[in-house]
């Protein structure tokens, strides 16, 4: 796979007719999620959303559809061991994402796939809860997934700033990876309970196990699995709901979506 990330499938770069043509071919919008957090001294702080966004671009290049700009969403650190959103945060987070998904639905899409590169359960819970009212009328469908939910195996997985995430960044953004910044000493493992006294890396030592080729294969498998899921979701809709839902993308039908 060419690591170049095409602008042809990225929503923010598209002109109205380009968007309309893309959604007529395959009415799917992919929405990448992540956050700003520590990913060792060698990776960008925005790793999670950057990773999900780039994988989805590769997916859309092959299968079709449109990729929304990456969203950097915070989460409650006290809830890292929970599978649910923090009760005080859930209403506003879900409401914001529901509003976004509603606008994507109004844009003419039939399938909305939210993909989190931040592999904790709370962000998936937020995405899937937000989709519930959007898909309730049966005219669209959607799902929230991790980027490797459908491809996880010996050649496709995730971690925290270790082998897999470092390999992804080496493939997509080699100029943003600084392995020498980790030094030569053994890495101190993450203690998620105390969250102190470690290197912020959880998984196999990236200095030994990460490579461009590992990243390339991981991306290939993840992008293919997500694209096939998009196809299956579209096929799950009644035939009359599988096509672009607007007469056109023009001011009288579509404005400030």
**Closest by alpha carbon to 158, among 149, 113, 57?**
149
**Closest by alpha carbon to 217, among 160, 153, 174, 161?**
153
156-214 pLDDT, tens digit each: 999 999 999 999 999 999 999 999 999 999 988 777 666 655 788 999 999 999 999 99
> Residue 76: is its pLDDT beyond 60?
no
Token pair in block for residue 89: 């945060």
Query: How do strand 111-116 and strand 141-146 relate by DSSP bridges?
Result: parallel
> Residue 255: is its pLDDT beyond 70?
no
| CB environment 132-168: b (16+ within 10 A), e (fewer) | eebbeeeebbbbbbbbbbbbbeeebbbbbbbbbbbbb
| pLDDT of the residue at 160 | 93
* Confidence tier at 252 by pLDDT (50, 70, 90): confident
19-75 pLDDT, tens digit each: 999 999 999 999 999 999 999 999 999 999 999 999 999 999 999 999 999 999 876
Topology of domain 11-241, per CATH? Answer: Rossmann fold (3.40.50)
- Mean pLDDT to the nearest integer, 241-251: 94
**Closest by alpha carbon to 170, among 1, 5, 43?**
43
Half-sphere exposure of 245 (CA within 13 A, CB side): 19
| pLDDT of the residue at 85 | 57
131-167 pLDDT, tens digit each: 999 999 999 999 999 999 999 999 999 999 999 999 9
> Residue 2: is its pLDDT beyond 60?
no
Q: Cα-Cα-Cα-Cα dihedral of 35, 48, 27, 229, to 10°?
A: -130
| pLDDT of the residue at 26 | 98
């Amino acid at each position: 796979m060419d690591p170049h990330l095409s602008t042809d499938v990225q929503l923010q770069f598209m002109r109205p007719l380009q968007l309309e043509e893309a959604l007529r071919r395959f009415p799917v919008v992919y929405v990448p999620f992540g956050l700003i957090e520590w990913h060792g001294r060698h990776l960008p702080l925005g790793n999670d959303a950057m990773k999900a966004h780039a994988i989805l671009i590769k997916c859309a290049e092959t299968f079709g559809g449109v990729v929304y700009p990456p969203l950097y969403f915070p989460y409650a650190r006290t809830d890292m061991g929970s599978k649910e959103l923090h009760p005080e945060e859930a209403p506003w987070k879900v409401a914001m994402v529901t509003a976004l998904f509603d606008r994507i639905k109004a844009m003419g899409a039939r399938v909305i796939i939210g993909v989190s590169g931040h592999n904790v359960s709370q962000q998936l819970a937020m995405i899937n809860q937000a989709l519930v009212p959007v898909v309730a009328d049966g005219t669209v469908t959607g799902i929230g997934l991790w980027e490797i939910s459908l491809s996880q195996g010996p050649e496709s997985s995730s971690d925290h700033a270790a082998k897999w995430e470092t390999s992804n960044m080496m493939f997509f953004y080699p100029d943003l990876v600084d392995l020498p910044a980790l030094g030569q000493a053994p890495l101190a493992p993450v203690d998620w309970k105390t969250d102190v006294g470690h290197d912020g890396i959880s998984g196999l030592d990236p200095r030994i196990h990460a490579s461009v080729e590992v990243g390339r294969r991981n991306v290939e498998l993840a992008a293919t699995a997500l694209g096939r899921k998009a196809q299956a979701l579209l096929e799950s809709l009644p035939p009359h709901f599988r096509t672009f839902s607007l007469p056109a993308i023009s001011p009288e039908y579509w404005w400030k979506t």
